[in-house]
Amino acid sequence: MDNKSKNDEIKPASAKWFGIIGFLIAIVLLTIAIFLSINQEKTERLSKLNDIQNTNKTEEASSILSKNINEVKANEILNTASANQTSTNNSNANKNLKTSRNEELIQSTNSNETKNETKKVNSNITNSTESNSSNSNKKSSTNSDKASNNVADNNKNSDKNNSNKKTEAQFTKPADGQVSNEYSMDSLIYSNTLQEWVTHRGIDIKGELGENIVSVADGTVTSIKNDPRYGLSITIEHSDGFKSIYSCLLSTEDGLEEGTKISQGQVIAKMGNSGVFESEDGAHLHFELMQNGDYINPELYIK
């Protein structure tokens, strides 16, 4: 009986401790479960916040990108409009310039026609006067012809001797007017058109638009072309290795072509301003002279 009572007392005590331990284990497990659920909620909240932030950043980036695209498009539209306005202004300016140049050409042509008619009238009057005076002087000159023939023979002999002594040719001036730019191959001159210091292998003679240009000596036309730098140009070859070049011309005389024989003083062209490299210098003749392939100073040979 005593052992049974002891066992009966031990059983309730052990059951009590097992109950307490089970309760503590349950509390620990519940605490762990609560802690895990709280961490999971925090993780989900952080992920949601990151998603929201990323979404906002993406939206901001897209809005900035769209703004930049719109600004670029607006700038392109403004640039296109300004370019169109500029081209319109340039075209209007070119039209006005062409119109003014055409008016100048018409005026110069009319003035040249008037000059030519005046020259024809004066030449006719001169020829008639000379013919009348020659008829009146024929009788008086008959007696002096014999003596003059002797003098002429002596002069021919002296001319032959002098021609053998000549070392430099003399040329007629190709146009009336002052030399505005001199020959300068050893030093630089300032170009108003190019706005820089350059060499100048000829001379520039100022004049009026449409003024006559003449050949400086007898020769043959070897070239008529539109030079990309000096505009409409004529090249004439002469004796003793000389060659003359006439540039910045308005036009050439009718019938003038390569191979045409030219006499000294013969009109070959009209003065203009067709040279791109000298377009700011107004109407003028750009004249070059060469001997044996080398450029020389024209002012040393023009009388």
| In-domain check, residue 154 | no
Residues 121 and 234 in one domain: no
- The DSSP output letter for 233 is E
pLDDT of residue 158: 40
Residues 63 and 191 in one domain: no
| In-domain check, residue 2 | yes
| In-domain check, residue 145 | no
φ/ψ of 235, rounded to 5, equals -120, 130
DSSP string spanning 74-91? Answer: HHHHHHHHHHHHHHHHHH
Bridge partners of residue 225, in order along the sequence: 233
User: CB burial class (10 A; 0-12, 13-18, 19+) of residue 104?
Assistant: middle
Residues 121 and 3 in one domain: yes
Question: What's the domain count of the chain?
Answer: 2
| In-domain check, residue 286 | yes
Q: Which domain holds residue 204?
A: 179-300
Residues 111 and 53 in one domain: yes
Q: How far apart are CA 260 and CA 267, in angstroms?
A: 13
| In-domain check, residue 162 | no
Give the pair of three-digit tokens for residue 100.
């003014």
pLDDT of residue 45: 78
User: Is 172 within 8 Å of 303 (Cβ atoms)?
Assistant: yes
The CA distances from residue 108 to 112, 122, 267, in Å, are 6, 21, 17
Residues 202 and 95 in one domain: no
Q: How far apart are CA 46 and CA 116, in angstroms?
A: 102
| In-domain check, residue 291 | yes
Q: Nearest Cα to 203, choosing from 167, 170, 246?
A: 246
- The DSSP output letter for 253 is P
Mean pLDDT by runs of 10 across the 303 residues of the chain is 54 73 87 85 78 67 58 60 55 50 50 48 45 43 44 43 47 95 92 92 96 97 96 97 97 96 97 94 96 96 88
Which residues lie closer than 8 Å to 235 by C-beta, 6 or more apart? 221, 222, 223, 224, 243, 244, 245, 246
pLDDT of residue 79: 63
pLDDT of residue 122: 47
pLDDT of residue 202: 96
φ/ψ of 153, rounded to 5, equals -60, -45
| Helix, strand, coil abundance in the chain, percent, nearest 5 | 60, 25, 20
End position of a domain, from candidates 133, 153, 169: 133
